[in-house]
Amino acid sequence: MTWLAHQGMLGEASDAQRRRRLAGWLAIALALGLLAGLATGAAGFSPRALWADLQGPDAALLLGQIRAPRTLGAALVGALLGLAGAIAQGLFRNPLADPYLLGSASGGGLGVVLVLAAAAAGGGAISLATVAWIERVGLVTAAFVGALTGVAMTLSLARGAVHTLRLLLAGVVVGVLLGAVSDLVTVASPEALRGKQAFLLGSTSFLGWDALALMAGGLLLLTVLVSRYARALDALTLGEDSARSLGLDLARIRLALVLMLSLGTALAVSQAGLVAFVGLVAPHLVRRHAPGPHRWLLLASAAMGAALLLAADVLARALVAPEELPVGVVTAVLGGGYLFRLLRQRATP
């Protein structure tokens, strides 16, 4: 065995150890995050209060219908965003790619604004119960359909997923266009502005068991589907020419990855609004601490996203209790601070 081969084996063993170590830490972080979410209520974070709540007469309502679905929902939203972020960064071979790159954010926002404006316009003609139903159920559907519509417009403008640069530019154009239309709607219907603001800031407050079932099913489906494209993502890291020389149909692979990215992002956006930076930072943390092939990176990014959003949700509920901060603001501060620190470190000679 040559010295170089020996060193390569040692490097692979070291990377495998780092991956196992990170997997262990992620499992611990997820368990602690779930417990912390259950222990965080109107009075803030309190493990003692959790024990009292478990023994109280309202345990089924307080924990089973409010804290548990919200906590588990935050983990699922984070997992969807982490997985979508890993797909986006692998697809575009760009560490700055995030799940909202292809117009899903602006499309979801426009869908929400249209529903809110319609409810406000029809408030005098229909009952208040109907308006409340539209705002509760219609917002989720509108955000989901709007996010998928934004991606569909991007694909149409880019004429498919053949060229990644054209796809990126089309995503920027569609994002600006749909954002401008959304602003025009809020000018015509100022009542929709408050709902739009809440959507843009992100929230896990309204997650219930039905939403959890939908997101869990979507996450399971996406995990199975994207695992089949892990080798293709590995090949793309070598460059398009190398990937094409391996016999890969890049146009078909890119289209499939864009559809999976869109579905994961739309599910997360429709349930929790625009939660910033989770999809961008989660793959970064995995690659920095335990790099590996995409089969590992995709799953670890989903787990990392879940852990990050669990922590952010606990902070959002606990920092100014009994009031709450928008969870998207917390993730933006933490994620932006992390990237700022990382860039400062790399810029330091």
Domain limits for position 140: 66-347
Average confidence (pLDDT) over 92-121: 85
- CATH (domain of 208): 1.10.3470.10
pLDDT at residue 12, as a whole number: 59
In a domain, 18, yes or no: no
Q: How far apart are CA 75 and CA 296, in angstroms?
A: 19
How many domains are contained in the chain? 1
Phi, psi (deg, nearest 5) at residue 63: -90, -45
In a domain, 37, yes or no: no
- Given a contact cutoff of 8 angstroms between Cβ atoms, the answer to whether 232 and 243 are in contact is yes
Strand, helix or coil at 103? coil
In a domain, 58, yes or no: no
pLDDT at residue 283, as a whole number: 93
Average confidence (pLDDT) over 129-137: 51
- Given a contact cutoff of 8 angstroms between Cβ atoms, the answer to whether 15 and 291 are in contact is yes
134 pLDDT exceeds 60? no
Q: How far apart are CA 224 and CA 300, in angstroms?
A: 14
Mean per-residue pLDDT of the chain: 83
In a domain, 8, yes or no: no
300 pLDDT exceeds 60? yes
In a domain, 228, yes or no: yes
In a domain, 31, yes or no: no
The pTM assigned to this predicted structure is 0.89
In a domain, 166, yes or no: yes
C-alpha closest to that of 113 among 174, 181, 167, 53: 181
- Given a contact cutoff of 8 angstroms between Cβ atoms, the answer to whether 284 and 155 are in contact is no
In a domain, 36, yes or no: no
